[in-house]
Structure 1
Amino acid sequence: MVLTLVPLPSSVTADSGTFALSPATRIVIVDGADAAASALSDLLAQRAGLRPEVTSDAPVRGDIVVRATGASDEAYRLEVGERVELIGSPAGLFYGIQTLRQLLREDAGAWSIPRVSIFDAPRFAYRGVMLDVARTFFDVATVKAFIDRASSLKFNHLHLHLTDDQGWRLHIDSRPLLTEKASGTSVLGRPGGFYTKDDFREIIAYAAARHMVVVPEIDLPGHTHAIGLAYPEIVEVPVMNDMLLAQSESLGQPLPVAGEPYQGWGVGHSSVRIREESTWEFLRDVLREVAEITPGPYLHVGGDECLGTPQADFDAFVERITALTAEVGKTPVAWHEAGSAVVAEGTVGQFWGSDIPTDEHAEHARRFADRGGSVILSPSTRAYLDMKYTPEFPLGLSWAAVIDLETAYSWEPDTIVPGLDPSAVLGVEGPLWAETLETLDDIDQLFFPRAAALAEIAWSPASAKDWNSFRERVGALGEVWDGEGWGGHRPAEIDWSTP
């Protein structure tokens, strides 16, 4: 029997037989595992139509025991025999429940769990996905649905790309014109929108309940055309570049015009006025307010694709913006280009270059480690969830690569950046850019199943990586996603049969 487990646990041993669920099944809470018991009860009600009694009585055969250890790690142990025993930290219990979600199976109306012994803990501390809500705005309900999907695969960070040339998506009290004037549209003229601070807090709380940390991004100093709609005095006139001009012509998209919403998706033309103190007054206001409503440790400040910005100005900006981010109490995160500058001590770099990087890109990534920081790996040729599966696929782009499922699975984080000490790899992240996305179904199409490949890279031991095993397990997992009502692409190279 194929155990439908993605990511693959650190240690798993299957036994014969199953644990049968019935109306008599109870959930027994031990040592304060109330939140996990409630989450498990909801899962069983949703998937199996059972709402077990939750009790703190002594467990007996046929019970599901949920025991909290009080540890701060993400490990858990799952034993399924005459009864089910789930033991772990609060986060570990949550991840153990996601494992049970994958193991639950129905046969002729009867639900069961295969007998199994699992010990599990993640390989990397940072396991992230990114949702671009700037190019296409997605409401709170859609972001929550995205969190549900990501957390089911044991991702623990949600990077929200909140600002870009096409729109500003978070209300800032001290700078209200940002949402009054710069949030109204999305790419290609799609509807815009923004999150109030209460909306943002709601997203953060929803993520936290699923042990996900929200990482907000204010992309700077480029990708800032939208700021100019609200505060034109701090934004440069758009600077055209050959790539932008060629892309605009080939796609029939408009070029950016100062003071007008930008509805194309070309890059590299915008910048704040780096040498003006009024710009820094603006940035202090914005970063302070974002930091105040973000309980997580990270604040992403961009730093990518500043094609029209002189290198000296860019380096001066990065040095100052990372220092300012640290000053407001957050660990700065920046795209790898920022490694050209003297970043603040401890700044985290996010590498988005090719899986065969240029010498310059590799050097920029290594400099974050040299400054006491670490690196998140998001190689665009492997981990970008918005790339097409095939050249004909109707959604996604292909500027980085065409990424089928095996390509998404078959890479090793420790070897992407030559010369980077493996201990400096904080983790991995799969960005989902939204140029071609409009709906949750569109998100699902690009997210599933490639996010499962990324999840296994982020969680499972490197020694466990095996494409043939993965393709068999992920094929069986399609039934679980269907049961949750989650869509997604079903590549022909996978046998999507019932296990």
Structure 2
Amino acid sequence: MNIMKTSLKFLFVSVLAVYTMSCEEQYPPTNLANNHIIPKPASVVATHGTFVLDKDAVIFYDSGNEDLKKNAGYLAGLLRPSTGFVIETKATSQNPGDGIYLTTGADKDSLLGEGGYELVISEKQVKISSPHPDGVFYGIQTVRQLLPADIESKDDTTREKWFLPTGRIRDWPEYQHRGAMLDVSRHFFGVETVKRFIDYLALYKFNVLHLHLSDDQGWRIEIESWPNLARHGGSTEVGGGEGGYYTKDDYKEIVEYAADHHITVIPEIDMPGHTNAALASYPELNCDGKARELYTGTKVGFSTLCTDKEIVYEFVDDVVREISELTPGPWFHIGGDESHSTDHDDYVRFVNRAREIVNSYGKKVIGWDEIAHADVNSEDVVQFWARENNALQGVKKGARVIMSPSSHAYMDIKYDSTTVLGLTWAGLTEVDDAYNWDPVALVDGIEKIDIIGVEAPLWTETIESLDDIEYMTFPRLPGYAEIGWTATENRFWEDYKVRLGKQKERFETMDVNYYKSPLVPWQDEEDIFIDEQKEGEVK
């Protein structure tokens, strides 16, 4: 088997060498239609030529556009390590006609919207245009996936030329909210791990990172007016580890890094339940005035803020104010789930007060579907995870919905019965189960107009390291990206699993610890090349 693999790789490299060396104008035949881009683009037209990226590569961007300047710097930084090329970035006041050109000169009345883009690749130029810098950034991710997987390498691959197929891609997102949630409360993850997670989200055109910053097991963000929340409440985690928390500077760093990757951070402070870390830090938040013991288990539903005490609302106000000051995005997530120890009327009264506080700091409220029992309205978002009736009740009150069905979208759920990590309370979620659902068809009575998007949460009761995060998110994460980006009528499992299988070498070059699902036909790039030659798909 190893001999056959080596032979295939030798043949792949030899064919490339022949095309490259035979004459200056002759390059490997390419076909843009044979792409394995995830999420699947809206429209692809191939012109069967080749663009050559070499040591003279330059990235141009519209003069005076600081966002495009950042995008150009991002792309250059992505390409330099693996190519070994200098790759300059230059401002321009007109289309340069060659190189790579980033522009926001696209038609603002087109289907593209703010998040869409048009990618035109000719033999002379790669042009990414969009009405908005977000769309240009997403176009960069498409170019990234069109290049060979070793573009992801952190080391110079010694390739002298890199090839892109020519043609035109027009593409835009189906939903405005395309998110993933990382629970840093059950187990704490440092800034660099969160940045790595953001890198993965960016590759697949996600635009939201939801950070679950507090729970029974840990409080993970510094609050200056209530310092013991982080110092004491953040001192442990599930299993009794040392825990940790983000200083305000740490959190700013995460928010800024996300913004540079066109991702909005949504902070979540879960309340009035899931609050034991806070209750252990400040006794006055408890009805009996006694501090709770720190908790390192995994049970839920036992904790609650004392909703009758005014000091509790002063606490909420301070926390929301300090975090909102650090978070430029429009949303604040108040949790609201599994508050089983809170009387129903107390719960409704608390959520209504919390909503008012969040709004007073210029933020809009998101909460898990239980908050639909309170007086939510058209400014609020209900995140559906468990109970259809809750989501429907929220919609009837005018709220919009994020779809995060635990039966499909929870990345902490085991793939199958042999998966070492993860939980099974929501069943099992193999890669096809994670992909084969339609946000609109999920709950009768909830229409597309009610849905702002989709989100895939990763709860971390059993997740302790970056390797664990990667194993549970890959290869499900790209599928959630496609659900959020690609129109349902253009999504098919039989097509998707092939494109996913062709991500194998990219995962491995990026050193991602992924689950090798038996449902996916995993392929190395040299195997893909040989298959296409045999089938005559590349002319």
Q: Is the deviation greater in 25-34 or in 258-267?
A: 25-34
User: Map of 1:45-60 to 2, 5 A cutoff?
Assistant: 45-56=80-91
Deviation (angstroms), 1:484? 2.6
1:26 aligns with 2:62: no
Identity of aligned residues (%): 40
What amino acid is the match of 1:396?
Answer: G
Match of 1:243 in 2: none
Structure 2: distance between partners of 1:220 and 1:106? 43
Deviation (angstroms), 1:79? 1.0
Deviation (angstroms), 1:316? 1.6
Give structure 2 stretches of 5+ with no counterpart: 1-30, 151-157, 529-539
Q: Conserved in 2, the CA contact under 8 Å of 1:225 and 1:235?
A: no
1:473 aligns with 2:499: yes
Deviation (angstroms), 1:408? 0.4
Match of 1:87 in 2: 129
Q: Conserved in 2, the CA contact under 8 Å of 1:323 and 1:343?
A: no
User: Map of 1:440-455 to 2, 5 A cutoff?
Assistant: 440-455=466-481
Deviation (angstroms), 1:77? 0.6
Match of 1:35 in 2: 70
Q: Conserved in 2, the CA contact under 8 Å of 1:78 and 1:84?
A: yes
Deviation (angstroms), 1:345? 4.9
1:387 pairs, out of 413, 428, 431, with 413
1:11 aligns with 2:39: no
Match of 1:244 in 2: none
1:75 aligns with 2:108: no
Structure 2: distance between partners of 1:415 and 1:402? 20
What CA RMSD, in Å, does the superposition of the two structures yield over aligned residues? Answer: 2.1
Deviation (angstroms), 1:268? 0.6
Deviation (angstroms), 1:26? 2.2
Matched residue SS, 1:381: helix
Match of 2:486 in 1: 460
Q: Conserved in 1, the CA contact under 8 Å of 2:434 and 2:480?
A: yes
2:280 pairs, out of 229, 236, 247, with 229
TM-score under structure 1 length normalisation: 0.91
1:208 aligns with 2:234: no
Deviation (angstroms), 1:258? 6.2
Deviation (angstroms), 1:148? 0.6
Deviation (angstroms), 1:38? 1.3
The structure-2 alpha-carbon separation of the partners of 1:495 and 1:49, relative to structure 1 and needing over 3 Å to count, comes to farther
User: Map of 1:308-323 to 2, 5 A cutoff?
Assistant: 308-323=341-356
Q: Is the deviation greater in 485-494 or in 441-450?
A: 485-494
1:133 aligns with 2:208: no
Structure 2: distance between partners of 1:60 and 1:479? 34
Structure 2: distance between partners of 1:233 and 1:56? 57
The Cα offsets for residues 123-171 of structure 1, whole Å up to 9 and x where unpaired, read as 0000010000000000111111111111111110110000000010111
The structure-2 alpha-carbon separation of the partners of 1:15 and 1:398, relative to structure 1 and needing over 3 Å to count, comes to farther
Match of 1:358 in 2: none
Q: Is the deviation greater in 7-16 or in 380-389?
A: 7-16
Q: Conserved in 1, the CA contact under 8 Å of 2:334 and 2:354?
A: yes
The Cα offsets for residues 264-314 of structure 1, whole Å up to 9 and x where unpaired, read as 111010000011112111111111111121111000001101122221221
User: Map of 1:354-365 to 2, 5 A cutoff?
Assistant: 361-365=387-391
What amino acid is the match of 2:118?
Answer: R
1:419 aligns with 2:445: yes
Q: Which runs of 4+ in 1 moved over 6 A?
A: 57-61
The Cα offsets for residues 422-460 of structure 1, whole Å up to 9 and x where unpaired, read as 201010000001111111111110111101110000001
1:368 pairs, out of 384, 394, 405, with 394
Structure 2: distance between partners of 1:423 and 1:289? 33
The Cα offsets for residues 180-222 of structure 1, whole Å up to 9 and x where unpaired, read as 2111001011221111111111111100111111100000010
1:341 aligns with 2:404: no
Q: Conserved in 1, the CA contact under 8 Å of 2:183 and 2:212?
A: yes
Q: Is the deviation greater in 184-193 or in 311-320?
A: 311-320
1:396 pairs, out of 422, 438, 443, with 422
Q: Conserved in 2, the CA contact under 8 Å of 1:347 and 1:371?
A: no
Match of 2:102 in 1: 66
What amino acid is the match of 2:491?
Answer: K
The structure-2 alpha-carbon separation of the partners of 1:39 and 1:435, relative to structure 1 and needing over 3 Å to count, comes to same
Deviation (angstroms), 1:97? 0.7
What amino acid is the match of 2:447?
Answer: D
What amino acid is the match of 1:466?
Answer: F
User: Map of 1:269-284 to 2, 5 A cutoff?
Assistant: 269-284=302-317
What amino acid is the match of 2:183?
Answer: D
Structure 1: distance between partners of 2:288 and 2:297? 17
Matched residue SS, 1:115: strand
Structure 2: distance between partners of 1:326 and 1:106? 45
Deviation (angstroms), 1:10? 1.3
1:409 aligns with 2:410: no
1:165 aligns with 2:216: yes
Structure 2: distance between partners of 1:393 and 1:68? 46
Structure 2: distance between partners of 1:97 and 1:295? 24
User: Map of 1:96-135 to 2, 5 A cutoff?
Assistant: 96-105=139-148, 109=159, 110-135=161-186
Structure 2: distance between partners of 1:52 and 1:154? 24
What amino acid is the match of 2:359?
Answer: A
Match of 2:532 in 1: none
Give structure 1 stretches of 5+ with no counterpart: 239-256, 354-360
Structure 2: distance between partners of 1:215 and 1:412? 24
Larger Rg: 2
Q: Conserved in 1, the CA contact under 8 Å of 2:287 and 2:309?
A: no
Deviation (angstroms), 1:62? 5.4
What amino acid is the match of 1:10?
Answer: A
Q: Conserved in 1, the CA contact under 8 Å of 2:238 and 2:461?
A: yes
1:193 aligns with 2:244: yes
Structure 2: distance between partners of 1:137 and 1:106? 31
Structure 1: distance between partners of 2:337 and 2:62? 48
Match of 2:11 in 1: none
What amino acid is the match of 2:500?
Answer: V
1:435 pairs, out of 461, 469, 481, with 461
What amino acid is the match of 1:85?
Answer: K
Q: Is the deviation greater in 59-68 or in 474-483?
A: 59-68
The Cα offsets for residues 226-251 of structure 1, whole Å up to 9 and x where unpaired, read as 1111112213589xxxxxxxxxxxxx
Matched residue SS, 1:219: coil
Q: Conserved in 2, the CA contact under 8 Å of 1:59 and 1:65?
A: yes
Matched residue SS, 2:334: strand
Q: Is the deviation greater in 114-123 or in 21-30?
A: 21-30
The structure-2 alpha-carbon separation of the partners of 1:212 and 1:416, relative to structure 1 and needing over 3 Å to count, comes to same
User: Map of 1:241-260 to 2, 5 A cutoff?
Assistant: 259-260=292-293
The structure-2 alpha-carbon separation of the partners of 1:98 and 1:5, relative to structure 1 and needing over 3 Å to count, comes to same
Q: Is the deviation greater in 128-137 or in 77-86?
A: 77-86
Q: Conserved in 1, the CA contact under 8 Å of 2:277 and 2:294?
A: yes
The structure-2 alpha-carbon separation of the partners of 1:106 and 1:75, relative to structure 1 and needing over 3 Å to count, comes to closer
What amino acid is the match of 1:484?
Answer: M
Number of residue pairs matched? 474
